[in-house]
């Protein structure tokens, strides 16, 4: 009992959602001593769903490992390769393989924007008592994860909120430096040439929506735009609501053209969508590459200048900070930024 209490104390001391998965597999590993323990999440669009290893610990390991959050989708194993996991998720019941080495799969239900399983490998099937112990720990894990989600996500849109941005930005740039230095381990993906990009998205004339239709309809517009964002971006792109009508995306792309294409897809999708009562709305987007050694405030400022330029020059467009600098357009307007009409 003392060991269990210590493990639960360590689990609930974590304040990072990614680290929480590692803490869970360590706790299960210490309590039951399985051959392996791992959390696998389903990522990707319907029809092309894959298994992402969130945290994994083998009997010979001390520190859990896992796939990069930015792993290319096609590098991950397809859903169909693991029918036992699929059955656990579909039935919401624990599934166990009949032969050694035994695999026991626990569904992790109730997570925001995620479907996942905990899978344990053992020489013999888990006892009923051990399965009850794991199920109890998982209830605590899921409840605690809900609390973390409540603190890290915007209440209206369920996108990440502003206070989580700096940590995520620093994690992404740290991984980028490791890729550039060539110090990643054997799990390093072959797409490490991709770089990080920060985009700011602002709804055009949003004040008019609130003034003409009321804040309830304005909230519905924000909620629907968040859904369009989820549909347009990839599973590993990080989507934030910074407050009001301002959204931010942190993504990984192979160059400016790819980043611009992704953002243009969102712009056109939004323009073509019919919002209840309001009809058509448009968005302005500014984006910038995240450079080595960059700071969150530095990258944010560049994207911010680009989106201000987009709003001053007609709105409903995607503007690259680097392109504006290269043409001199941004410099020629810098002195007038403070006088823009943004809404």
- Token pair listed for 233: 């971006």
Alpha-carbon distances, residue 44 vs 47, 143, 342 (angstroms): 8, 25, 36
The better pLDDT of the pair 59, 215 is held by 215
- Angle (deg, nearest 10), helices 296-312 and 165-181: 110
Cβ distance 170 to 296 under 8 Å? Answer: yes
User: Has this prediction a pTM greater than 0.95?
Assistant: no
The better pLDDT of the pair 97, 71 is held by 97
Q: What is the pLDDT of residues 317-336, one digit of tens each?
A: 999 999 999 999 887 444 34
Own/partner pairs, 132-138, CB within 8 angstroms, 24+ separation? 133/4, 133/31, 133/32, 134/28, 134/32, 134/106, 135/94, 135/106, 137/7, 137/8, 137/11, 137/24, 137/27, 137/28, 137/31, 138/24, 138/106, 138/108
In this predicted structure, the answer to whether residue 5 has a pLDDT above a threshold of 60 is no
Q: For residue 306, what pLDDT band results from cuts at 50, 70 and 90?
A: very high
Q: What is the DSSP string of 7-76?
A: HHHHHHT---HHHHHHHHHHHHHHHH--SEEEEEEEES-TTS-EEEEEEEEETT-SS-B---TT--GGGS
In this predicted structure, the answer to whether residue 42 has a pLDDT above a threshold of 60 is yes
Q: What are phi and psi of 66, to 5 degrees?
A: -175, 170
Q: What is the pLDDT of residues 266-290, one digit of tens each?
A: 999 999 999 999 999 999 999 999 9
Quick one: which of 14, 10, 4 has its CA closest to 134? 4
- Token pair listed for 302: 């560049």
- Token pair listed for 208: 């008019």
Residue 277 falls in which region: left (phi positive, over 0), alpha (psi -120 to 50) or beta: left
Mean pLDDT of the chain: 85
Please enumerate in sequence order all residues whose Cβ is within 8 A of that of 116, keeping only pairs 6 or more positions apart, or say none: 39, 40, 41, 42, 54, 107, 108
Q: What is the pLDDT of residue 6?
A: 59
């Amino acid at each position: 009992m003392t060991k269990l209490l210590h493990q639960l104390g360590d689990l609930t001391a974590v304040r990072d959602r990614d680290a929480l998965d590692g803490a869970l597999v360590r706790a299960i590993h210490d309590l039951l001593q399985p051959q392996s323990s791992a959390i696998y999440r389903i990522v990707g669009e319907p029809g092309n769903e894959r298994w992402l290893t969130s945290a994994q610990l083998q009997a010979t390991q001390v520190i859990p490992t896992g796939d990069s959050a930015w792993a290319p989708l096609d590098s991950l194993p397809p859903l169909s390769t693991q029918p036992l996991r699929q059955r656990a998720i579909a039935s919401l019941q624990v599934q166990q393989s009949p032969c050694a080495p035994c695999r026991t799969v626990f569904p992790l239900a109730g997570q925001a924007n995620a479907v996942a399983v905990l899978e344990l490998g053992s020489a013999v099937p888990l006892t009923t008592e051990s399965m009850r112990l794991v199920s109890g720990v998982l209830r605590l894990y899921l409840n605690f994860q809900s609390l973390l989600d409540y603190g890290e996500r915007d209440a209206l849109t369920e996108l990440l909120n502003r206070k989580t941005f700096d940590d995520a930005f620093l994690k992404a740039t740290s991984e980028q430096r490791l890729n550039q230095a060539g110090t990643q381990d054997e799990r390093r993906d072959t797409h490490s040439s991709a770089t990080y990009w920060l985009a700011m998205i602002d709804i055009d004339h949003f004040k008019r929506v609130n003034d003409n239709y009321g804040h309830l309809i304005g909230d519905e517009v924000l909620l629907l735009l968040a859904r369009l964002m989820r549909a347009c971006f990839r599973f590993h792109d990080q989507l934030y609501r910074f407050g009001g009508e301002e959204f931010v995306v942190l993504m990984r792309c192979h160059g400016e053209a790819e980043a611009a294409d992704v953002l243009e897809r969102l712009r056109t999708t939004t323009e073509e969508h019919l919002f209840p009562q309001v009809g058509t709305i448009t968005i302005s987007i500014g984006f910038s590459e995240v450079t080595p050694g960059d700071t969150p405030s530095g990258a944010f400022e560049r994207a911010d200048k680009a989106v201000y330029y987009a709003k001053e020059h007609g709105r409903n467009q995607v503007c690259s900070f680097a392109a504006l600098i290269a043409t001199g357009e941004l410099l020629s307007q810098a002195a007038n930024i403070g006088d823009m009409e943004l809404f």
